Amino acid sequence: MDYSNFPKIELHLHLDCSLSYKVVQQLKPSVSEEEFKRDYIAPAKCNDLADYITRAAKGIELMQTAEQLWAVTLDLFEQLKADNVIYAEIRFAPLLHLEEGLSPHEVVQIVNAASIEGMERTGVKAGLILATLRHYTEAQSMETVKLVASFKGTNVVGFDIAADEAGFPIDAHIKAFKYAKKQGISCTAHAGEARGADSVWETLRHFHPKRIGHGVRSIEDPELMTFLKAEGIHLEICPTSNVQTAIYDKIEDHRVDDIYQSGVSMSINTDARTISDVRLADEYATLKGVFGWDKARFLKCNLEAIKHAFTDEQTKEAVKRQLLQAWT
């Protein structure tokens, strides 16, 4: 069965890693298709997460002005619509887009306004998650989380920490997550990707997120899996990306099926549509082909995704109705 036309939810999606060739051509006409494939798309197997992340640099270069940020945001909404994603949470690090003189506040303002237009144009509902990065200082993390607080009531719905989990400790970011908790800001955090289950434990103890970005290596610790299930912590699984970052040698080795069968809440996501060169429909096709997943499993993952989305109950109910109507 082809799942392209079924409504889908995507919770783990990086704006700066999802520029289509169409928008790159618009912003930098000199880039050939061959260059795009070489510079913006990662090989099927990278050395590790740090190697994979280097592919984001070219996209970030093209996201430094108001016009560029607007174009990239609208482009992603078009991609989501084409993939029949009806609700998405799009994450980005505002401090990466200051090279042409924009302030962090202006960056968020622009992406927020562009997302409003994107929703109007495509009908795709979306929230924005602002991310700090592992190599950032405490001050940079605090600046980012305070941006989330200052945009309360807009499309900005949460706070995240991303980048090289294995290369940098969590110490500089504890204060920012404490602030988020105090302010009632919904949090997710990348963990259990470049490092094992210990990284997830550490993240849960110090950051207290409601969701874990990736978190696939949680399966290596039965006690952790029991904890995740008991606490209702949601894992944002990105199968193709996990193979590219060399967590698994090949897709057949991925533990996604074991995680699903454990009963831990999880969803399927693309992570980086351009770097991984994948749509959500492609991820579904892979899981169907390799693990024999059926409609019931995909529906369950989508229902878990909207249940754990950082949005209001009214939106959750409307999206849930759409999912049930289409998938059953």
The long-range contacts involving 109-115, CB below 8 angstroms and separated by at least 24 positions, are 110/66, 110/69, 110/70, 110/73, 111/15, 111/69, 111/73, 112/151, 112/154, 112/155, 112/156, 113/70, 114/69, 114/70, 114/73, 114/74, 115/73, 115/77, 115/90, 115/155
CA 274 to chain centre: 13
Task: Supply φ then ψ for residue 148, to 5 degrees.
Answer: -60, -45
End-to-end, the C-alpha distance of the chain in Å comes to 14
Beta-carbon contacts of residue 322 (< 8 Å; ≥ 6 apart): 7, 86
223 catalytic residue (yes or no): no
Question: Any idea what DSSP says for residue 271?
Answer: B
Comparing CA positions, the residue from 124, 186, 141 lying closest to residue 159 is: 186
* Active-site residue, selected from the candidate residues 10, 89, 165, 193: 193
Question: Looking at the annotation, which residues are catalytic?
Answer: 193
